[in-house]
Structure 1
Amino acid sequence: MWIYWHFHIHFIPPDFFFIEQTMQGLHLTADCYDCRCAPGLLLDPALLREFVLTQTRRAGLTIVGEKFHPFQAADGSAAGVTCALLLAESHLAVHTWPERQAVTLDVYVCNFTEDNSAKASGLLQALIAGFAATRWQTQRLQRGNGANGQTLALEQLTPHSAYGTALAPPLVQTESPFQRIEIADSAEFGKVMRLDGAFMTSERDEFFYHECLVHPAALSHPQPRRALIVGGGDGGSSEELLKHPSIEHITLCEIDPLVIQLARTHLQQIHRGALDDPRVQHVARDGFAFVMAAAQAPLADQLYDLILLDLTDPQAADGSTLAADCYTQEFLQACRAVLAPGGALVMHLGSPFHHPQRFGQLRQRLGEVFRQVSPYTVHVPLYGALWGMAVASDTLDPRQLDSKVIGIRMQERALADLQYYNENVHPALFALPNFVQNLGA
């Protein structure tokens, strides 16, 4: 074991006008435990160098100097590595503790000429993922003005844009066999859940997403009885579907049982008990494999009136996600095979502004499988953007139902406790701005 310490000094120009700006920066640290990466990454300075330099450059930070120093145990065997990168933006320090399967990380960036906070956050997340930490603790310190003791959690929408909100210390921060799961309190959103660093849902804004994912298609269907939800482990989409009295059975196919377990404990304000409703059958299986198997020999009495793809994004900033296969044409064709006559599939398409290519490609892909594709949009506060969704079917077209018909069906079904969706919102959802209408048309 050894003790490590380091200095960093930034000289501030004597011009008073700039002092307040130059003092500001972001300092991030992480203590990573039970790292399941290859042992060489903790012992070999060459392997560590390749990994650290690659992730730093991917984050968009500028390396101006480096030092990698290997340590030896008393018997001469390798005992860990300390590295420091000098960055034009400030520095990165990494210390490996192979005897404890631990790593400590330190990232600091100045925000003088531009805000480098998203780059620093992205680098820290990439390093934690690369070391395959099972448990980790992070600290976030705002240097200069505005320090508030909370973590500004950022999600990279594109390589050039990020959105975030301040989070309190996490209530949950763990690694399942499938992904990193975090749940934390926030001032504006209540409890927030993130998967692999991406915002999924929150107590106070979940209705924007879940009501709009479920009700346009469910109310357009005369009497939905059976539904399949792929993903949706927070229970929000199940809770909205169960408001329709005709629903008899929901298959909730969530690959990660830990998401459901943690949602039961921490996200009651989102699922409101729906995860334990007897009409909800839990299937802990990869959604792609489940649907592909069901499509091989679909039984008439086991077809679905509605399929909701309540998935993570198909691609994150550092590569594909768990849900990538569920956006393929092959998968969508299998979904069509297990839809009952008159049934519909619903999925989100991403942000038409930040992800126009994805939005257009998915819309086209749906059009190659289904006869009717009805894209629509809703602003989701937690995602920081206008978000795209679509209803796809061979016969059902939600755009053909006006507000009067929707209002009648809402009364007949006694739909209550809705905070976003109503009979007037329904047609408005499908009124697309020109730039959205042209994507994938």
Structure 2
Amino acid sequence: MQGLHLTADCYDCRCAPGLLLDAAQLRQFVVEQTIRSGLTIVGEKFHPFQAADGSAAGVTCALLLAESHLAIHTWPERLAVTLDVYVCNFTEDNSAKANGLLDTLIVGFAPARWQTHRLQRGSGATDQTLALEQLTPHTAYGTQLAAPLAQMQSPFQRIEIADSAEFGKVMRLDGAFMTSERDEFFYHECLVHPAALSHPHPRRALIVGGGDGGSSEELLKHPSIKHITLCEIDPQVIQLAREHLQQIHHGALDDPRVRHVAEDGFAFVKDAARSPKADQLYDLILLDLTDPQSADGSALAADCYTEEFLQACRTLLDTGGALVMHLGSPFHHPQRFSQLRRRLGNVFRQVSPYTVYVPLYGALWGMAVASDTLDPRQLDSQTIASRLRERPLPELQYYNENVHVALFALPNFVQNLGA
């Protein structure tokens, strides 16, 4: 009986009506997602109901799994769906498959709001659930999360904030770990400071994404920064970060130097690049994005990884400016790392890749500074130490003059990716 039992109650579902009314459409969707999750179907039953006038009135279905079962009930008159996934973990841990299946089903039904319950059954059961993210189809990383503090479906993505024993509050978007209170400095300090310290006097910056406020907070530590444009497509991410992630942004989201733009980053940059004005050029552009494609297939930020977009960003950089972006894990995502490094090289004269281990992501993570003139690899530790004395950055937990040099010391297998 040892296993994971997941349920979800979905309300105001905005999916195609056929998913709630038509057994054949529901079967096609459910069977496809179950197979994609890696679970094994050994039997099935889909039963459509009819109203008194003979019209369709919902569907109940059950899939018998080698690992246990999936049950779904649709309530079209209420635009509601109930989901029930149970997997046995006695001889093999199927938790990642169950979590992935529930997440993709929720995405498919597109509820405006939903509630989930996660129960560890059998020996070792706790009041928390092991939340897993698929790094690849074969590898997952996760941590135990308590019941969500906040959970909603915005017009763009599922947003969840929950507490954890090791990471404090954690934000997930579409089931992918984004940031946490206790390890955010690994990512945000390394995204911001290698380029910002290499620039002699950064004044204006553009952040595409970054709705948690962590990258804004790090940039504002530089006394020369006068203006940040924060282009975040989803205002709900910013609102929930304001409410729950103060230990990450420390009020940066409401700093008067930060201008908020609730717009698709691709559209914003492309429009600005058509006829850039002097006061619209940036010393730094940070692409603080979700992955180009998440494990559940969503690709909200995919356009912002294209060569076309990178070229538009280059147009918006002032003389001596630089762009920074993450490249994914060089071990788990070598193709993505190589492809993005080559794209940057097609656009910019200088591309400086580097790596940092991010605990919440469970992997070594790749980043890069790209510029026509600025090369952070040319600054030695003495120069960085001098600049840190000139602009004393408060409360750095990861970055220092020695770390700066070490970040760009790449293992051979990373050097060879996309070179």
Deviation at 1:113, TM superposition (A): 3.7
- Counterpart secondary structure, 1:419: coil
- Listed as ranges, the matches of 1:217-296 within 5 Å are 217-296=195-274
Q: Which residue of 1 aligns with 2:385?
A: 407
The correspondence for 1:131, drawn from 105, 109, 114, is: 109
Matched residue type, 1:341: T
- 2:70 corresponds to which residue? 92
Task: Indicate conservation of the 8 Å contact 1:139/1:151, yes or no.
Answer: no
Residue 401 of structure 2 aligns to a residue whose secondary structure is: coil
TM-score, structure 1 normalization? 0.94
Match of 1:187 among 150, 162, 165: 165
Instruction: Find the counterpart in structure 2 of residue 32 from structure 1.
Output: 10
1:143 match: 121
**CA offsets, 1:119-138, max 9 Å, x none?**
11111001111011111111
Equivalent residue for 1:433? 411
Does the CA-based 8 Å contact 2:286-2:324 persist in structure 1?
yes
Aligned mate of 1:315, from 290, 293, 297:
293
Q: Secondary structure at the match of 2:148?
A: coil
Q: Distance in 2 between matches of 1:24 and 1:320?
A: 32
What secondary structure does 2:370 align onto?
A: strand
Paired AA for residue 42 in structure 2: V
Q: Who is 1:393 aligned against?
A: 371
2:143 is the counterpart of 1:165:
yes
The normalised TM-score by structure 2 is 0.98
Distance, in Å, in 2 between the alignment partners of 1:273 and 1:43 is 47
TM alignment of 1:55-74, pairs within 5 A:
55-74=33-52
Q: 2:130 & 2:7 partners in 1: Cα distance? A: 13
Report if aligned partners of 1:140, 1:152 keep a CA contact under 8 Å in 2.
no
Distance in 1 (alpha carbons) for counterparts of 2:297 and 2:174: 11
Query: Distance in 1 between the 2:217 and 2:116 partners?
Result: 33
AA matched with 1:387? W
Deviation (angstroms), 1:76? 2.7
Q: Max radius of gyration: which structure?
A: 1
Q: Whole-Å Cα distance in 2 between the matches of residues 431 and 24 of structure 1?
A: 45
In the TM superposition, residue 279 of structure 1 has moved relative to its aligned partner by 0.7
Mean CA deviation greater in 315-324 or 167-176: 315-324
Letter of the structure 1 residue corresponding to residue 327 of structure 2: L
Structure 1 pair 393–360 and aligned structure 2 pair: CA distance change class (3 A): same
- Gaps in structure 2 of 5+ consecutive residues: none
1:320 Cα deviation after fit: 4.2
Q: Is the 8 A contact 2:171 2:180 kept in 1?
A: yes
Structure 1 unmatched ranges of 5 or more: 1-22
| Alignment partner of 1:104 out of 82, 88, 112 | 82
Give the whole-Å Cα distance in 1 for the aligned partners of 2:56 and 2:275: 56
SS in structure 2 at match of 1:263: helix
Q: Distance in 2 between matches of 1:396 and 1:230?
A: 20
Residue identity opposite 2:3 in structure 1: G
Checking the alignment, whether the CA contact within 8 Å between 2:95 and 2:130 is kept in structure 1 is no
* Structure 1 residue ranges, 4+ long, deviating more than 4 angstroms after superposition: none
Give, in angstroms, the shift of residue 261 of structure 1: 1.1
More displaced 10-residue stretch of structure 1: 135-144 or 191-200 = 135-144
Residue 55 of structure 1 and its aligned partner are, at CA, apart by 0.6
Q: Following the alignment from structure 2 to structure 1, what is the Cα–Cα distance between the partners of residues 398 and 222?
A: 16
Name the SS for the 1:118 alignment partner. Answer: helix
Matches within 5 A, 1:325-336: 325-336=303-314
Which of 153, 161, 168 is the aligned partner of 1:175?
153
Deviation at 1:24, TM superposition (A): 2.1
Verify the 8 A CA contact 2:133 2:295 in the aligned structure 1. Answer: no
Distance across 1 between alignment mates of 2:54 and 2:268: 52
Match of 1:47 among 9, 16, 25: 25
Shift of 1:285: 0.6
CA contact (8 A) 1:224 1:306 kept: yes
Shift of 1:318: 2.8
| 2:60 paired with 1:82 | yes
1:424 equivalent in alignment to 2:402: yes
